[in-house]
Structure 1
């Protein structure tokens, strides 16, 4: 059994990209003056000659990364999600997405759990923005082992990839020693069930796991699916769940507009119309506060998932 590791996925990213660079000499890392926060400082300490601090100039950073990709490098360009996906959106679209360059955009400190940094830094729009770019792969790993595997998959995949990192530490639940495998574009059924399906991503998968255990004690047999790849989304696993359980609840630390919930709903309305209840940030900005308290306030907690499932089943 693999060791249970409690880390923020930003820290797991720093470890993973540094370890991967030992084997792959083409990997380079760029950061926008936030290396301590994004944990690319680990890479900087080990491979200073392959690390570029672009300063507080995210748009320029994406341009530099695009240029390096044309020279055969595999650049990981990191900053807070609000800046790498938000401020630099035009450069990501036109300089990376349009020419289909092999750049990996890294968005750290995404979602409400950024906490005290407040609304200006709590990016709940990054997945929606990146989904609109043709050919962009979007990864939102849920724990240490999944982030490690996702970074390797991103480096192996040729083309633009967006990787979402969290600030809040989360206990690992995936176990490589028990058959856990990461496959780009394929969801994972963590718990089988016949009454209803919960589909979660990123930090919310851990909360959903707790919710499933509580629901089980109440006699509710809930299926749980981890969608680590938002785009391309695993249509087969979603359609199968809809056919077999009839109702879906999605959970994401992101605006319900343009995120996981809408991606799931889009699949279902085309294939098998199914009731979908979306848990996420309800079209509003966040505010400063302790991360755990904010998650509860915005309904991104085990208790609210349980309550939402009960309500959905009673409809």
Structure 2
């Protein structure tokens, strides 16, 4: 396995694309895990780095996508056009990757409704809509996509990769687990420096924080020795990192409770401002989305009540810890270096 790092100045920094080619002397199938964002310069960068490994873009046989976000799936269509490669995406994300117009329109309409529900001011809503519209092309050209489901497996040059569905950050986010090598390609399920956004990154996910916590627990139970994330460096203790992120969400929920206790009934936008301050670019989506995910989790568990756009505490001193299962791991795995 080789890693290619692709530039990404729009979202969360450098993207990882993993090259599974069977080794230098094996004329085996060329499979990529993820594809990078659809910018001409990034396409050329991918082609150049593949050439440095002895391959052409036209040699790619398959692309396994961890999820539909354009920084991971944007170049899938260009790769397919160049090579005829088969593109695989989880069934929840496949229509968006394929460029299905009805699915794209439904996702945009749902975003607009969420912006209203989050109490996003009109001027900031217009700013965000302009930003998203300006970057719509990053999703790339339409392509044919073969959907897969949780538990499906892929035979790649003598290794078996099992699809492990880990929704939260995205509805279809999936890791590809090699049990023999004890490693998993995890996309943005866990990341080594920061925590993946939950709530804003994919508004299609219902109960986003609850779903994400379940995914973290599943990853802890899977307990691979190594995780290869969608951004930055290898994670050497994936279960420990997942447990650390889970505890972070307990702390963040406590912070949300403190805002509601101090300010009274509040919108996700107002809670986001209290937690994160003034936001710009894609973070105008991610900030209130993250606040919403935690407010929704409180409301779903009977500790808060939503009235249109506002959430109010029902218990002035709620037991937040009881909302989250014990991960069973005490290790704290924080980022300590790398890109």
Give the TM-score normalised by structure 2: 0.30
Structure ranking higher on relative contact order (CA contacts 8 Å, 6+ apart): 1
Structure with more helix by fraction: 1
Query: Which protein is bigger by CA-based radius of gyration?
Result: 2
Give the TM-score normalised by structure 1: 0.31
